[in-house]
Chain A
Amino acid sequence: QVQLVQSGSELKKPGASVKVSCKASGYTFTDFPMNWVRQAPGQGLEWIGWIDTNTGNPRYAQPFTGRFVLSLDTSVSTAYLQISSLEAADSGVYFCARAKCGGSCSSDYWGQGTLVTVSS
């Protein structure tokens, strides 16, 4: 069965960096792009971007350009989200989700989420 398992919660100080991992299993990793989505506390879903698991090419939503970097290690079927120069506003739950595309891409399987808390 398809599973996406994310790394555990993180508590970081402002200005630090964090790297969230998302390990896929149960399907061929390079057959589906990977979406990343943020949910701030008590808020809705925001699309951060996605990464083409074949080419490694990422695409970012405009608010997430610069400090957010998506990457892969296809040898271990794992996608990564790195955030640098963390700010309090970056606090929230970060989800990876497998992209299923056709017309536009939905997210058919989701990781369990990684809580990132930025606090001094």
Chain B
Amino acid sequence: QSVLTQPPSVSGAPGQRVTISCTGSSSNIGAHYNVHWYQQLPGTVPKLLIYANNNRPSGVPDRFSGSKSGTSASLAITGLQAEDEADYYCQSYDSSLRAAVFGGGTKLTVL
């Protein structure tokens, strides 16, 4: 059971908008620790997609955006493309565990 909870799967048609939620608690997201998002394409290394809640590293398209409110965070993908089909993970820090924590991951299927 992951400390951060993500839906196991989401799907959307090309061109649509999808969101992936990441629900934590008062000892991680709710304690104002930043949330980061990673994209892992099939068979590849995870890639940092969003850092510090809503910042995109250089080279990440602006179709990807992040937000955070209370004890939850979300990743939004607009203009869905076939190449976006991947696993997505949220990550933060938990003060009770004194450890970085990942969500369980969400598999995005582009229909």
Contacting pair A102 B52 (CB below 8 A): yes
Q: Which of B99, B103, B104 has the most CB of A within 10 A?
A: B99
Indicate which residue in A35, A44, A103, A106 contacts B105 across the interface (CB closer than 8 Å): A44
Q: Which of A58-112 contact B (CB under 8 A)?
A: 59, 61-62, 95, 97, 100, 102-108, 110-112
B100 at the A/B interface (Cβ < 8 Å)? yes
Q: Which residues of B contact A100 (CB under 8 A)?
A: 51
Q: Which of A26-50 contact B (CB under 8 A)?
A: 35, 37, 44-47, 49-50
In the complex, what distance in Å separates the CA atom of A72 from the CA atom of B93? 23
Nearest A residue to B97, CB-CB: A62
Nearest A residue to B49, CB-CB: A106
A contact residues, range:
20 to 34
Indicate which residue in B33, B35, B45, B100 contacts A47 across the interface (CB closer than 8 Å): B100
Q: Which residues of B contact A49 (CB under 8 A)?
A: 99
Q: Which residues of B contact A44 (CB under 8 A)?
A: 2, 87, 89, 102-105
Q: A61-B97, A103-B32 are known; give 12 further A-B pairs, CB within 8 A.
A: A37-B102, A44-B103, A47-B100, A59-B99, A61-B99, A61-B100, A102-B34, A103-B34, A104-B33, A104-B92, A107-B91, A112-B45
Give 16 CB contacts A-B under 8 Å.
A44-B87, A44-B89, A44-B102, A45-B38, A47-B100, A47-B102, A50-B100, A62-B99, A102-B34, A102-B52, A104-B34, A106-B34, A106-B51, A107-B48, A111-B45, A112-B45
